[in-house]
A and B are shown apart, each in its own frame.
Chain A
Amino acid sequence: AQSVTQLGSHVSVSEGALVLLRCNYSSSVPPYLFWYVQYPNQGLQLLLKYTSAATLVKGINGFEAEFKKSETSFHLTKPSAHMSDAAEYFCAVRAHSGGYQKVTFGTGTKLQVIP
């Protein structure tokens, strides 16, 4: 079985401050890991994907995430928050299970950026 835990359903940061959104996963097999963003009243957008090619993954809009196997973590960071980063962020794991690749999402973290 696989699972994803996102710590903090709501995170507030000041504009220009570091953004850190936490994601821990469990998987019995090597997983693919994803971060998605959903802007208000819009669809999902893929931010970045970890595929084992590199532990530090750079995504769109200045976001990056680091895969740490020993900590089973895949935290999302951005050095300087912009107002436009206010959205809901979802971490997801995709791994083989029962002959299929199953995708499991975290419960999401809403990011508020304070001017």
Chain B
Amino acid sequence: KAGVTQTPRYLIKTRGQQVTLSCSPISGHRSVSWYQQTPGQGLQFLFEYFSETQRNKGNFPGRFSGRQFSNSRSEMNVSTLELGDSALYLCASSLKTGYQETQYFGPGTRLLVL
């Protein structure tokens, strides 16, 4: 069974540009969530999508957006990049059945903004 795939794995952009990151969840998982990890701010929750709808979101500015497609693949977009957006962006896919939840993370996309 294939794991969570994130592309690209590494990315270098300059300030003011925009970037799109992709996440392919585990087959059968309909929930995808995104997280940002930086040395200074630690782990922060960005948003969660389920069946193409944003269900939950964190406290990030509107420059951070996402979407989910009918095949559950998700994309995250960051517009007008700032130096502080340099981070490891993690995607996770989840399968929830009652109280049980299995969640698997991808390897992340490391974004460097120059």
Check B58–A44 contact: CB distance below 8 A: no
Check B56–A102 contact: CB distance below 8 A: yes
Check A46–B42 contact: CB distance below 8 A: no
Interface string of A63-92 (1 = CB under 8 A from B): 000000000000000000000000000101
Check B45–A103 contact: CB distance below 8 A: yes
Q: Is the interface of A mostly helix, strand, loop or mixed?
A: strand
Report the Cα distance A43→B59, complex, angstroms.
22
- Of the four ranges (under 10, 10 to 19, 20 to 34, 35 or more), the interface on chain B belongs to 20 to 34
Check A108–B107 contact: CB distance below 8 A: no
Q: For A100, what are the chain B residues with a Cβ–Cβ distance below 8 Å?
A: 55-57
Check A101–B102 contact: CB distance below 8 A: no
Q: Is the interface of B mostly helix, strand, loop or mixed?
A: strand
Report the Cα distance A68→B60, complex, angstroms.
31
Interface string of B61-96 (1 = CB under 8 A from A): 000000000000000000000000000001010000
Check A44–B92 contact: CB distance below 8 A: yes
Report the Cα distance A101→B58, complex, angstroms.
8
A51 interface residue, CB < 8 Å from B? Answer: yes
Check A107–B99 contact: CB distance below 8 A: no
Report the Cα distance A52→B99, complex, angstroms.
9
Report the Cα distance A105→B107, complex, angstroms.
19
Contact for B106 among A43, A46, A102, A107, CB less than 8 A: A43
Check B58–A103 contact: CB distance below 8 A: yes
Q: List CB contacts (< 8 Å) of B98-114 with chain A.
A: 99, 101-108
B44 interface residue, CB < 8 Å from A? Answer: yes
Whole-angstrom distance between the Cβ of A15 and the nearest chain B Cβ: 27
Given A43-B90, A43-B108, A44-B90, A102:B103 Cβ within 8 A: no
Whole-angstrom distance between the Cβ of B26 and the nearest chain A Cβ: 13
